[in-house]
């Protein structure tokens, strides 16, 4: 077992109820420093809800989340980024009528050191901070090969590039924990390969811990250290990608129970028999 200092994020007995719907039920997991931890599960399993709990958009009905040993319950949503947690969204939420560069500079917001008055007069400190922010942003641009799109408006970019821009914006906050909500959704095969490559780089080169939700099992098994499978708000299985993929509960959640299938078969056989008779 790993010691407590290895654990970056720990969720205990998370439960969320929206009216009568139990979206997340008694979910517990630990994300260790420097690993890629993936949540999988069929649609409506509650994966994105878990993300929104971590980023403070929803409050859990019961249960706790600890980040670096500190409880997250009292942290307002806008302060989460300042703690070193950045996220991307399932349906890209970029600042559409701004350039890629501006989007990435907004990612530097948590590092701003200038006051409103310094901004209004564009004092020396603001200019200096702008150039420092730009240097950091350029590092991310280099990392993700976005040079070509630097000055393009986001509204005019293809979907695949936007996905990368969103990842870049999250990296610009210099996070310790990166939450990726379906990084490969809507991407073609090549772009998905690039994404796998980048996620591995983010983990290995930048040393950022990644917590992601993903459906593409190819990507999941390529980059994940551990996988948590959810269904209908509950934990089904946790372990290495191979372990989880072969877990009977997971197969059942995705494909249906063996009983269901065999009963269908029987019906089919019986129908054939009836027809023959």
8 A C-beta contact, residue 111 and residue 174: yes
Chosen residue from 91, 124, 259, 276 binding another protein by CB under 8 A: 91
CA distances from residue 89 to 16, 60, 94, 179, 238 in whole angstroms, order as listed: 20, 20, 9, 9, 24
Distance CA 140, CA 150 (A): 11
Least gap, CB of 47 to another protein (angstroms)? 13
Edge-first strand order for the sheet with 234-239 is 85-87, 177-181, 209-213, 36-40, 226-231, 234-239
Q: Is 122 in the site for another protein (CB under 8 A)?
A: yes
Residue number with CB closer to another protein (17 or 134) = 134
Distance CA 138, CA 82 (A): 21
Q: Which of residues 205-264 bind another protein (CB under 8 A)?
A: none
Least gap, CB of 212 to another protein (angstroms)? 15
Q: How many helices (H) and strands (E) does the chain have?
A: 11, 10
Q: Which of residues 18-77 bind another protein (CB under 8 A)?
A: 52, 55, 57, 77
Q: 150, 171, 215: which is closest to 81 by C-alpha?
A: 171
Least gap, CB of 51 to another protein (angstroms)? 10
Chosen residue from 69, 82, 207, 256 binding another protein by CB under 8 A: 82
Stretch that binds another protein, among 115-123, 194-202, 248-256, 257-265 (CB under 8 A): 115-123
SS3 content of the chain, % helix, strand, coil (to 5): 45, 25, 30
Chosen residue from 20, 43, 116, 274 binding another protein by CB under 8 A: 116
Residues lying near another protein in the complex (CB under 8 A) are found at 52, 55, 57, 77-82, 86-87, 89-98, 101-102, 105-110, 112, 114, 116, 118-122, 126-127, 129-131, 133-135, 138, 155-156, 159, 169, 173
């Amino acid at each position: 077992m790993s010691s407590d200092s290895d654990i970056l994020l720990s969720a205990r007995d998370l439960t969320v109820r929206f009216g009568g719907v139990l979206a997340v039920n008694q979910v517990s997991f630990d994300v260790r420093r420097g690993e890629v931890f993936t949540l999988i599960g069929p649609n409506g399993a509650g994966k994105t809800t878990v993300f929104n709990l971590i980023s403070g958009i929803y409050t859990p009905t019961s249960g706790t989340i600890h980040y670096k040993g500190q409880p997250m319950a009292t942290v307002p949503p806008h302060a989460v980024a300042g703690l070193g947690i950045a996220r991307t969204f399932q349906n890209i939420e970029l600042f559409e009528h701004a350039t890629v560069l501006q989007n990435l500079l907004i990612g530097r917001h948590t590092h701003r050191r200038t006051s409103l008055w310094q901004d209004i007069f564009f004092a020396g400190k603001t200019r200096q901070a702008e150039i420092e922010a730009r240097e950091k942003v350029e590092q991310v641009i280099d990392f993700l090969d976005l040079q070509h799109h630097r000055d393009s408006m986001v509204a005019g970019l293809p979907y695949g590039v936007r996905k990368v821009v969103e990842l870049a914006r999250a990296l610009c906050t210099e996070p310790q924990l990166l939450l990726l909500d379906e990084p490969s959704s809507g991407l073609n095969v090549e772009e998905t390969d690039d994404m796998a490559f980048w996620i591995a780089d983010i983990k290995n080169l930048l040393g950022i811990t990644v917590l992601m939700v993903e459906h593409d099992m190819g990507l999941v098994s390529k980059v994940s250290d551990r996988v948590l499978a959810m269904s209908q708000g509950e934990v089904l299985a946790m372990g290495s990608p191979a372990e989880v993929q072969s877990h009977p509960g997971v197969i059942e959640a995705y494909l249906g129970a063996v009983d269901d299938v065999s009963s269908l078969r029987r019906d089919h056989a019986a129908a054939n028999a009836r027809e023959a008779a």
